[in-house]
C-alpha cells in the first residue's frame, strides 16, 4: 500500500517525522515537506545561536534524511496562504503540521511593551530576513528578563564582542552592528530561585567561556527551601545547574570588560521610561513560600538599564484552516491527531508534531520522540483504512498547481546551491575566512534555490 503525505514545516520536528514515514516498513510512504522560508531547518537555522556550531551541525545528520528520494522539499510556500489546507487534502492522504514557533510571548508588566522580545533579537543575529536588519546596541547596561536557555543565548551574544562572533556564520550587517555594541553589563532576572531556573547545565557553563565575560551571582540569591532540595536530589540536571550557579556566586568581580549578573528572586514589575527612552527596570524581591511557590516581600529595587529584552517563551501562530488553541497557542491534539478544539473530535487525515503540538519547550532531540508518537498514529490509521484517498494521483500535480500560481518554490537541490554559495562566501572572507557566511535577503536566497534554476 502506498501513501502520499504532506508535512508542513521543515524544522527538526517535520524532518524527523518525514524520516520516520519514508522509512516505514509496512507502507510505501512518499513525503512532500513544505516550508515557508526558502531554506529548510527551522529554528536550527533561525533560532540556535551562531556561536553554537555543534548544535548547528545537527543539520549534517538532517541532510541524510533530505537526501532520500522518497522525500521532496518544497520551500518558499506558506501553507494557509499560498495553498490552503483543503487544497492539500486533494493531493495527499494525510497532512502533518510541524510549524513550530517564531513569535515571543509578551512581557505583561507596565512598560513591558517597550521591552524587546528575545525572538526579535535572535531573528536579527541569525539573519532571518523577516526581522529587523539594523540593531540599536547603544545601551551600556541591559536587562534580560528570564532564566532559560534563550535568555542565556541573548545575554551571551550581547556580552561578547563582535570580533568574537566573527568566526561564526553571522552576515556582514550583523557583524557591523555587534562591532559597535556598547553593552558592558547584562542583568538577567528570574522571579524564582536557582533550583527553579530553566537553564541546562552545559549552556550555563558556556556563558562563562568567553575571555571578555565574567558571570556573577549574588551569594544571597543562592537559597533553597525543602522542596528545592528535593528537586535537586531528584533531577541531576537541576543539581548541576545549582552547582554551576554556586560557583559563580563564590567569585569576586575581576577586570573583565563585560559582566553578566544572574539575579534570582527578583520579579520585574515595571520597565521604567522617560518619554520613549528606557531608564531602568524595577523588580520586587521574592522569597520561597515553602510550598513550591514564591511571594513578594514588598522590597523594590530600581536597576539603571537603557534596554530591556524579555525571554519569557516563544509562541506559535495559527495556520489558516487548522484548529488552534488560543490559550495554549498550540494545535489542539490528542498526542498527534488534530482535534476540532481541545475537548473536541478528531479531524480526519490531519496530524501535528513538534513545538506546535506541545508548546515551545524542549531541545531539538525532544522533537524526535514526539514525531514517533505522531507518525505511529498516522501509520496505524492508514493500515486500518481510516485515511481519505486524495483526488489527484500524479505526484507532480501539486508542482503544477504551484507553478500555475507563479509560486517560486525552492527545492532540495536548490538548498545545495544555496549552501555552496554560503560556504563560498565564508571562504571568501580573507583573514576572517570561516565555514559559512549566511545569505540573508529573501531574493538572494531564492536566486540560488528556486526550482526555476532547474529548468
Ligand atoms: C532562540 C532559540 C535557541 C535554541 N537553541 C537550541 C539549542 O542550542 N539546542 C537545542 O537542542 N535546541 C535549541 N532550541 C530549541 C529548538 O530550536 C526546538 O526544539 C526545535 O526547533 C523545535 O522544532 P520544530 O520543528 O517544532 O519547530 P521549528 O524549528 O520552529 O520549525 C518549524 C518550521 O515550520 C515552518 N512554518 C511555520 N509555519 C509555516 C507555514 N504556514 N507553512 C510552511 N512552513 C511553515 C517554519 O518556517 C519553520 O521552518 C532553541 C530554540 C530557540 C527559540
Q: Domain of 340: which CATH number?
A: 3.40.50.720
In a domain, 448, yes or no: no
Q: How confident is the model at residue 425 (pLDDT cuts 50, 70, 90)?
A: very high
What is the number of structural domains in the chain? 2
426-436 residue pLDDT tens: 999 999 999 99
Report which protein residue has its CA nearest ligand 1's atom 21: 43
β-pair type (103-104, 314-315): antiparallel
The closest-lying atom of ligand 1 relative to the alpha carbon of residue 354 is: 26
Q: Which three cell numbers stand for residue 157?
A: 551574544
Mean pLDDT, range 6-19, rounded to an integer: 98
* 292: pLDDT strictly greater than 80: no
Contacts of 327 (CB under 8 A, 6+ apart): none
Q: Please tell me the least confidently modeled range out of 54-58, 245-249, 270-274, 300-304.
A: 54-58
Domain boundary residue, one of 283, 313, 343: 313
Mean pLDDT, range 20-46, rounded to an integer: 97
Contacts of 218 (CB under 8 A, 6+ apart): 249, 261, 263
Supply the pLDDT for residue 97: 98
What is the spatial distance between Cα 447 and Cα 432, in angstroms, rounded to a whole number? 25
Please choose from 6, 43, 317 the residue to mutate so as to test ligand 1's pocket, defined by most ligand atoms within 8 A of CB.
Answer: 43
Are residues 246 and 120 both part of a single domain?
A: yes
Q: How confident is the model at residue 218 (pLDDT cuts 50, 70, 90)?
A: very high
The closest-lying atom of ligand 1 relative to the alpha carbon of residue 80 is: 41
What is the spatial distance between Cα 349 and Cα 346, in angstroms, rounded to a whole number? 9
Mean pLDDT, range 217-232, rounded to an integer: 94
389-420 residue pLDDT tens: 999 999 999 999 999 999 999 999 999 999 99
What is the spatial distance between Cα 267 and Cα 261, in angstroms, rounded to a whole number? 15
> Which residues face 7 on adjacent strands?
33, 96
Residue 444 Cα to chain centre, angstroms: 23
Nearest to 158 by CA among 184, 132, 124, 119: 184
User: How far from 61 is each of 19, 91, 204, 372, CA to CA, in Å?
Assistant: 11, 29, 25, 17
Are residues 96 and 137 both part of a single domain?
A: no
180-197 residue pLDDT tens: 999 999 999 999 999 999
Supply the pLDDT for residue 346: 97
In a domain, 349, yes or no: yes
Domain boundary residue, one of 278, 313, 348: 313
User: How far from 301 is each of 3, 136, 249, 294, CA to CA, in Å?
Assistant: 61, 26, 20, 17
Please choose from 32, 48, 49 the residue to mutate so as to test ligand 1's pocket, defined by most ligand atoms within 8 A of CB.
Answer: 48
Contact assessment for residue 42 and residue 123, using Cβ atoms and an 8 Å cutoff:
no
Contact assessment for residue 436 and residue 445, using Cβ atoms and an 8 Å cutoff:
no
How many helices (H) and strands (E) the chain has is answered by: 17, 17
Q: Cα of 437 to ligand 1 centre, how many Å? A: 20
Place of cell 543539520: 59
β-pair type (307-310, 277-288): unpaired
Are residues 144 and 289 both part of a single domain?
A: yes
In a domain, 455, yes or no: no
251 annotated among ligand-binding-site residues? no
Contact assessment for residue 314 and residue 106, using Cβ atoms and an 8 Å cutoff:
no
Residues with CB under 6 A from ligand 1: 8-14, 34-37, 42-43, 47-48, 52, 55, 78-80, 98-101, 122, 150, 153, 314, 319, 354-355, 362-364, 367
Supply the pLDDT for residue 56: 84
What is the spatial distance between Cα 114 and Cα 149, in angstroms, rounded to a whole number? 22
Are residues 30 and 94 both part of a single domain?
A: yes
What is the spatial distance between Cα 449 and Cα 446, in angstroms, rounded to a whole number? 5
Are residues 115 and 89 both part of a single domain?
A: no
> Which residues face 374 on adjacent strands?
none
Query: Residue 145 maps to which CATH number?
Result: 3.50.50.60
Nearest to 293 by CA among 159, 192, 198, 381: 192
Q: Which three cell numbers stand for residue 156?
A: 551571551
What is the spatial distance between Cα 371 and Cα 206, in angstroms, rounded to a whole number? 29
Report which protein residue has its CA nearest ligand 1's atom 7: 48
* 290: pLDDT strictly greater than 90: no
35 annotated among ligand-binding-site residues? yes
Mean pLDDT, range 17-33, rounded to an integer: 98
Place of cell 530553566: 198
User: Residue 253 carries which DSSP code?
Assistant: P
CB-CB neighbours of 208 under 10 Å: 17
13 annotated among ligand-binding-site residues? yes
**Span between the terminal Cα atoms of the chain, in Å:** 33
Helices 149-159 and 118-125, axial angle in degrees (round to 10) = 50
Place of cell 540593531: 135
Q: Whole-prediction pTM value?
A: 0.95
Domain boundary residue, one of 279, 296, 313: 313
Q: How confident is the model at residue 102 (pLDDT cuts 50, 70, 90)?
A: confident
* 1: pLDDT strictly greater than 90: no
The closest-lying atom of ligand 1 relative to the alpha carbon of residue 203 is: 8
DSSP string, 281-342: EEEEEEEE-SSS-EEEEEEEEEE--SEEEE-S-EE--PPTTS--BTTTTB--BSSSEEESST
Q: How confident is the model at residue 454 (pLDDT cuts 50, 70, 90)?
A: confident
Report which protein residue has its CA nearest ligand 1's atom 27: 100
Domain that holds residue 24: 2-101+316-409
Report which protein residue has its CA nearest ligand 1's atom 39: 99
Q: Cα of 228 to ligand 1 centre, how many Å? A: 31
361 annotated among ligand-binding-site residues? no
In a domain, 115, yes or no: yes
In a domain, 284, yes or no: yes
Are residues 210 and 355 both part of a single domain?
A: no
Nearest to 100 by CA among 401, 260, 314, 368: 314
Q: Cα of 50 to ligand 1 centre, how many Å? A: 15
* 331: pLDDT strictly greater than 70: yes
364 annotated among ligand-binding-site residues? yes
Are residues 249 and 200 both part of a single domain?
A: yes
Q: In what side-by-side order are the strands of the sheet with 266-274?
A: 266-274, 277-288, 294-303
Q: Cα of 358 to ligand 1 centre, how many Å? A: 13
Average pLDDT score over the chain: 96
The closest-lying atom of ligand 1 relative to the alpha carbon of residue 122 is: 1
419 CB-side CA count, 13 A: 14
In a domain, 372, yes or no: yes
User: How far from 334 is each of 338, 344, 346, CA to CA, in Å?
Assistant: 7, 10, 8
Please choose from 8, 11, 359 the residue to mutate so as to test ligand 1's pocket, defined by most ligand atoms within 8 A of CB.
Answer: 11
What is the spatial distance between Cα 375 and Cα 412, in angstroms, rounded to a whole number? 23
Q: How confident is the model at residue 455 (pLDDT cuts 50, 70, 90)?
A: low
Nearest to 390 by CA among 5, 1, 30: 5
The closest-lying atom of ligand 1 relative to the alpha carbon of residue 118 is: 1
Mean pLDDT, range 5-24, rounded to an integer: 98
What is the spatial distance between Cα 75 and Cα 236, in angstroms, rounded to a whole number? 41
Amino acid at each position: 500500500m502506498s501513501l502520499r503525505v504532506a508535512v508542513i514545516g521543515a524544522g527538526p520536528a517535520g524532518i524527523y517525522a518525514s524520516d520516520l514515514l519514508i522509512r516505514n516498513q509496512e507502507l510505501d510512504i512518499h513525503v512532500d515537506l513544505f516550508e515557508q522560508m526558502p531554506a529548510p531547518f527551522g529554528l536550527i537555522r533561525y533560532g540556535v545561536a551562531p556561536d553554537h556550531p555543534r548544535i548547528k551541525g545537527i543539520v549534517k545528520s538532517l541532510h541524510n534524511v533530505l537526501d532520500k528520494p522518497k522525500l521532496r522539499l518544497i520551500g518558499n510556500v506558506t501553507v494557509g496562504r499560498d495553498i490552503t489546507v483543503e487544497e492539500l487534502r486533494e493531493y495527499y492522504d494525510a497532512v502533518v503540521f510541524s510549524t513550530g514557533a517564531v513569535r515571543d510571548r509578551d512581557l505583561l508588566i507596565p512598560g513591558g511593551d517597550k521591552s524587546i522580545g528575545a525572538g526579535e533579537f535572535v531573528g536579527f543575529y541569525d539573519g532571518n530576513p523577516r526581522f529587523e536588519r539594523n540593531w540599536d546596541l547603544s545601551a551600556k547596561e541591559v536587562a534580560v528578563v528570564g532564566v532559560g536557555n534563550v535568555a542565556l543565548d541573548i545575554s551571551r551574544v550581547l556580552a561578547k564582542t563582535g570580533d568574537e562572533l566573527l568566526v561564526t556564520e553571522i552576515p556582514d550587517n550583523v557583524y557591523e552592528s555587534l562591532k559597535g555594541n556598547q553593552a558592558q553589563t547584562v542583568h538577567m532576572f528570574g522571579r524564582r530561585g536557582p533550583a527553579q531556573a530553566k537553564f541546562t547545565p552545559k549552556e550555563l557553563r558556556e556563558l562563562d567561556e568567553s575571555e571578555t565575560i565574567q558571570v556573577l551571582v549574588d551569594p544571597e540569591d543562592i537559597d533553597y527551601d525543602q522542596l528545592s532540595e528535593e528537586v535537586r536530589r531528584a533531577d541531576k540536571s537541576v543539581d548541576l545547574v545549582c552547582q554551576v550557579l554556586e560557583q559563580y556566586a563564590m567569585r569576586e568581580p575581576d577586570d573583565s570588560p563585560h559582566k553578566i549578573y544572574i539575579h534570582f528572586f527578583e520579579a520585574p514589575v515595571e520597565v521604567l521610561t522617560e518619554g520613549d527612552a528606557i531608564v531602568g527596570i524595577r523588580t520586587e524581591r521574592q522569597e520561597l513560600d515553602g510550598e513550591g511557590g514564591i511571594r513578594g516581600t514588598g522590597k523594590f529595587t530600581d536597576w539603571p538599564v537603557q534596554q530591556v529584552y524579555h525571554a519569557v517563551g516563544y509562541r506559535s501562530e495559527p495556520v489558516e484552516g487548522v484548529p488552534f488553541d488560543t490559550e495554549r497557542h498550540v494545535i489542539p491534539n490528542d498526542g498527534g491527531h488534530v482535534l476540532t478544539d481541545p475537548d473536541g473530535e478528531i479531524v480526519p487525515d490531519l496530524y501535528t508534531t513538534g513545538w506546535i503540538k506541545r508548546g515551545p519547550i524542549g531541545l531539538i532531540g525532544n522533537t524526535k520522540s514526539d514525531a514517533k508518537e505522531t507518525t505511529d498514529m498516522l501509520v496505524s490509521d492508514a493500515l486500518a483504512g481510516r485515511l481519505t484517498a486524495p483526488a489527484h494521483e500524479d505526484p507532480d500535480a501539486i508542482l503544477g498547481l504551484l507553478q500555475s500560481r507563479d509560486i517560486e518554490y525552492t527545492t532540495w537541490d536548490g538548498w545545495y546551491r544555496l549552501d555552496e554559495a554560503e560556504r563560498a562566501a565564508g571562504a571568501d572572507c580573507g583573514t576572517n575566512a570561516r565555514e559559512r557566511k549566511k545569505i540573508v535577503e529573501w531574493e538572494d536566497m531564492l536566486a540560488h534555490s528556486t526550482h526555476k534554476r532547474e529548468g
